């Protein structure tokens, strides 16, 4: 029980100590200390996964427990699904800090470690908080740290622009969340999610509840990067240092989906449960659009970091649709594979950091054949790409029909994009020029001066992350346990049944991996296709792709417009469909 506050207090206190006294110590000491703190957070959160396996741990800070059903104090709710996500945060933070040891040129300022620890502590607090306003506070703390980490190379205009776009769009999302919180507080007089749920339960949803639900969902989907709230994400990932992107790509966006799930089932399911079909249709529809658009854009990028930004967007769509099924199997499957997928993405970003350090940039066309000097990194990236392709379809443990096929196809497209890049960089396959791909702006990809280092501290953590991803993704029995815990998370313990994924589940995974190999071949050698097929594809596909490319132009005013339009459309759908 005492571990619960420590998982947040330890990184935040360590950040304060480093900020106050770090300048008096050798630079490497700050890195070692931050690695130790992140590792401690990982261990403590992993212990909490097992401690909460038979009951949810509720920790009230200061002993301020509810009186007569009224919650005044702040609480953390710890169960295996949330604790597992918190452990993922710690693991990726540890890997990012280890990678940073050998990544940057010269001594690293202490404020980098301070910001990383604050970011880590805020993400863990966000995951475990069961108080809506407390979630908003942690949302803001981790956002401010993320803005600063994105603009770490502030001397470069592209980094400043990416950080500003990130800050503006996410601040509007935060304002939406705060508006929804204010409306709910005015209606229920509560901020605790469980108390809000009890106050709203049994009453039909009116306009205020629908507006509050819309505002909160839009705010969290903005953080997640769901379409059409996603435009900031590629700008931020493209300019953030590769070690920071390990955290960004691995877990930051997924936290928005966790918040949507927690607020819906804890606060809104009692009043919106009768409209589950309408909510399911909206969430699954947005998830499909996000998954498809993200996969297409990922395939069109030559910049590995921008490619991964769109891979994150695509996988967010897959997981949003899985959550949107509003079933325990969808939630339980997503909980496992969000963690496994995050570990795999973190592993690949360790490889990207090694490529950046040895080559000086991470554009697959510019780095054509230059990765031959680091074959171990090529193996890591290739295996990670196949893992990315195979894992996401497994999240749909309860779905049938065409959904698994659609998301297996999008996963094959994203995994194939990474395999194509790996083939170009590490094996010198395919042409060094490709008119189909979107090139990064000049100078955006150049982060550090190339250095002929062994790179073990760069790609080594990725090996551990990838091994953990494979264990979590394919270990028998985990899926059934996750589904049981998902029933508890949803408050439907009586409906829990034993579940084991069948052969069909793994067949979709194998099909997606084979599809990724086919996509990679087409990306490298599509010129070998018959001229008739290539001409038909150019006529039918190229004009649409060219128009889509124009949407992501870095103009923050347009991003805000899309956010506004998306919020209006989502609110309109909820208003029309919820009765």
Q: In sequence order, what E strands does 393-513 have?
A: none
Q: What are phi and psi of 438, to 5 degrees?
A: -85, 125
How far is residue 86 from each of residues 24, 121, 136, 252, 377, measured CA to CA in Å? Answer: 32, 10, 17, 11, 27
Per-residue confidence (pLDDT) for residue 453, from 0 to 100: 60
pLDDT at 496: 47
Q: Which DSSP letter does residue 252 get?
A: I
State CA 278 to chain mean position distance.
Answer: 25
Distance in angstroms (rounded) separating the CA atoms of residues 418 and 510: 17
The pTM for the full model equals 0.93
> Residue 69: left if φ>0, alpha if ψ -120 to 50, beta else—which one?
left
Q: Which residue has the tokens 């990922």?
A: 298
Q: Which pLDDT score, from 0 to 100, does residue 450 have?
A: 65
Give the rounded distance of the alpha carbon of 14 from its chain centre.
Answer: 25
- pLDDT attached to residue 398: 46
Block means of pLDDT (10 residues each) for the chain, 579 residues, are: 88 94 81 94 94 87 82 88 93 94 83 94 94 93 94 84 92 95 93 92 89 95 92 89 90 91 91 89 94 93 91 93 86 86 93 86 86 88 91 56 83 94 91 79 61 74 92 76 80 58 74 91 84 71 71 83 94 89
**pLDDT at position 290, please?**
95
Residues 6+ apart with CB under 8 A from 379: none
Cα–Cα distance measured from residue 365 to residue 302, given in angstroms and rounded to the nearest whole number: 6
What proportions of the chain, in percent to the nearest 5, are helix, strand and coil?
75, 5, 20
The length of the chain in residues reads 579
Between CA 187 and CA 199, with CA 193 as vertex, the angle to 5 degrees is: 40
Bin 103: left if φ > 0, else alpha if -120 < ψ < 50, else beta. Answer: alpha
> Which candidate, 337, 348, 285, places its Cα nearest to that of 315?
337
Q: Which helix (H) or strand (E) holds 75?
A: strand 75-78
């Amino acid at each position: 029980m005492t571990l619960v506050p420590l998982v947040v207090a330890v990184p935040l206190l360590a950040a304060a100590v480093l900020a106050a006294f770090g300048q008096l110590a050798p630079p490497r000491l700050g890195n070692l200390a931050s690695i130790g703190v992140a590792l401690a957070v990982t261990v403590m959160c992993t212990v909490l996964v097992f401690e909460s396996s038979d009951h949810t741990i509720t920790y009230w800070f200061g002993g301020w427990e509810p009186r007569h059903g009224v919650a005044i104090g702040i609480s953390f709710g710890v169960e295996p699904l949330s604790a597992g996500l918190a452990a993922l945060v710690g693991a990726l933070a540890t890997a990012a800090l280890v990678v940073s040891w050998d990544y940057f040129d010269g001594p690293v300022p202490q404020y980098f470690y301070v910001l990383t620890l604050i970011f880590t502590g805020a993400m863990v607090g966000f995951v475990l908080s069961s108080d809506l306003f407390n979630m908003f506070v942690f949302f803001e703390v981790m956002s401010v740290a993320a803005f600063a980490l994105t603009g770490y190379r502030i001397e470069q205009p592209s980094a400043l622009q990416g950080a500003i776009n990130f800050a503006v769009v996410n601040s509007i999302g935060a304002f939406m969340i705060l508006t929804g919180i204010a409306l709910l507080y005015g209606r229920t007089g509560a901020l605790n999610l469980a108390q809000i749920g009890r106050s709203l339960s049994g009453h039909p949803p009116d306009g205020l509840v629908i507006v509050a639900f819309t505002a909160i969902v839009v705010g969290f989907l903005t953080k997640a990067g769901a379409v059409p709230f996603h435009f900031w994400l590629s700008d931020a990932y493209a300019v953030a240092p590769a070690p920071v992107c390990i955290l960004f790509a691995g877990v930051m966006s997924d936290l928005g989906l966790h918040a949507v799930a927690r607020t819906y089932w804890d606060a809104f399911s009692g009043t919106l449960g009768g409209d589950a079909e309408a909510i399911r249709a909206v969430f699954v529809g947005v998830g499909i659009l996000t998954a498809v658009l993200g996969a297409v854009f990922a395939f069109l990028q030559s910049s590995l970091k921008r490619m991964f930004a769109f891979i994150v967007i695509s996988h967010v769509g897959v997981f949003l649709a899985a959550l949107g099924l509003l079933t325990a199997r969808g939630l339980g499957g997503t909980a496992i594979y969000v963690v496994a997928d995050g570990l795999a993405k973190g592993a690949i970003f360790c490889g990207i950091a090694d490529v950046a350090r040895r080559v000086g940039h991470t554009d697959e066309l510019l780095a054509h054949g230059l990765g031959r000097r680091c074959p171990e990194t090529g193996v890591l990236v290739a295996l990670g790409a196949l893992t990315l392709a195979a894992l996401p379809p497994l999240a749909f443990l309860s779905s049938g029909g065409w959904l698994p096929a659609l998301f297996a196809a999008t996963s094959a497209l994203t995994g194939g994009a990474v395999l194509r890049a790996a083939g170009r960089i590490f094996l010198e396959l395919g042409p060094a020029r490709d008119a189909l791909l979107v090139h990064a702006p000049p100078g955006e990809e150049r982060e550090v001066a190339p250095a002929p280092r062994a790179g073990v501290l760069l790609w080594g953590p990725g090996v551990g992350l990838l091994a953990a991803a494979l264990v979590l993704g394919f270990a028998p029995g985990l899926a059934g346990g996750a589904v049981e815990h998902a029933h508890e998370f949803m408050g439907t313990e009586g409906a829990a049944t034993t579940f084991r994924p069948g052969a069909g589940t793994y067949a979709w995974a194998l099909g997606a991996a084979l599809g990724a190999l086919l996509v990679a071949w087409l990306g490298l050698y599509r010129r070998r296709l018959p001229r008739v097929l290539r001409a038909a594809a150019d006529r039918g596909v190229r004009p649409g792709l060219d128009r889509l490319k124009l949407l992501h132009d870095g103009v923050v005013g347009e991003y805000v417009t899309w956010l506004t339009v998306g919020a209006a459309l989502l609110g309109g759908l909820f208003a029309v469909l919820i009765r």
